[in-house]
Amino acid sequence: MSDVAQLFGARAGAYASFRPHYPDALFAWLAANSPGRQRALDIACGSGQASRPLRQHFAQVLACDASIEQLRAATDLAGIELFVANAEAQPLASASLDLIVVAQALHWFATPAFFSEAARLLKPGGLFCAWCYGLLRIDSPVDALIDPFYWNTLGGYWPAGRASVDAGYRDIANPFTQVSPPACAIETTWQLDQLLGYLRTWSAVQRYEQQNGHDPVRQLRPALRQAWGDANRPRFVHWPLHFLAGTPH
């Protein structure tokens, strides 16, 4: 298992509880632009945020992750075929998939070997779509605290690959014939404790805690509490999505 898989596996329960859900319109677009609706695969599925919506559009949904702890923490995945596998080595037949998705994970394994494997798995005209989201936006006082926490406090603790998220995947060469999904974003409302739970799922937070012996989110909490106001007051949260999508040549 990779170091990144171990990091996410260590807090799989929190990941399942606090990672945001993707917009329904995205999955409708994916289904409409796939050559069929028979078989879809969610690679590096985590706790299944992208796997669940695919059930509404495809006859068979498969989901894999390198971390068995992530799969064990997933809930409400009945009808989805789960298995442990590294992204670059899938135990599936060639030309067997209409769609492959990678949600908030491509930056950990965007290698020629992975893209070659994805091309092998897709049917003619099959669709590959990966997406990421970077820093959340709430309001100016809260954002002014989260930004330096992300860039400065955690700056040296992000695993290699995170810079691609900051670049919106523009630094990853697309080996496929490019397809452009419509602009969309994750939007939700959270109370303060949900924000704090989300921040603790960040891989850099976990590495910081391992190396320094204390939780950096706990240190940030008093300032966030002051900026938030009533901790039970729901706030609107927004993440733009960035895509790398296409069909094999």
Domains of the chain: 3-247 (3.40.50.150)
Could you tell me which residues come within 8 angstroms of residue 116 by beta carbon, excluding any fewer than 6 positions away? Answer: none
**Which helix (H) or strand (E) element contains residue 99?**
strand 97-103
Bridge partners of residue 41, in order along the sequence: 62, 100
Ramachandran quadrant class, 125 (left: phi over 0; alpha: psi -120 to 50; beta: rest): left
**For the chain, percent helix, then strand, then coil, each to nearest 5?**
40, 25, 40
For the ranges 65-69, 158-162, 218-222, the maximum mean pLDDT occurs at: 218-222
Q: What is the rounded distance in angstroms from the CA atom of residue 23 to the CA atom of residue 10?
A: 27
What angle do the packed helices 216-228 and 203-212 form, to 10 degrees? 130
| Secondary structure class of 130 (helix, strand, coil) | strand
| Residue with the two structure tokens 């596996």 | 9
Average pLDDT, whole number, for the chain?
92
Q: Decide if pLDDT at 183 tops 70.
A: yes
| pLDDT for 134 | 87
* For residues 200-210, average pLDDT: 94
pLDDT band, residue 14 (cuts 50/70/90): low
| pLDDT for 93 | 98
* For residues 84-101, average pLDDT: 97
Instruction: Single out the residue of 61, 104, 113, 59 nearest to residue 86, CA to CA.
Output: 113
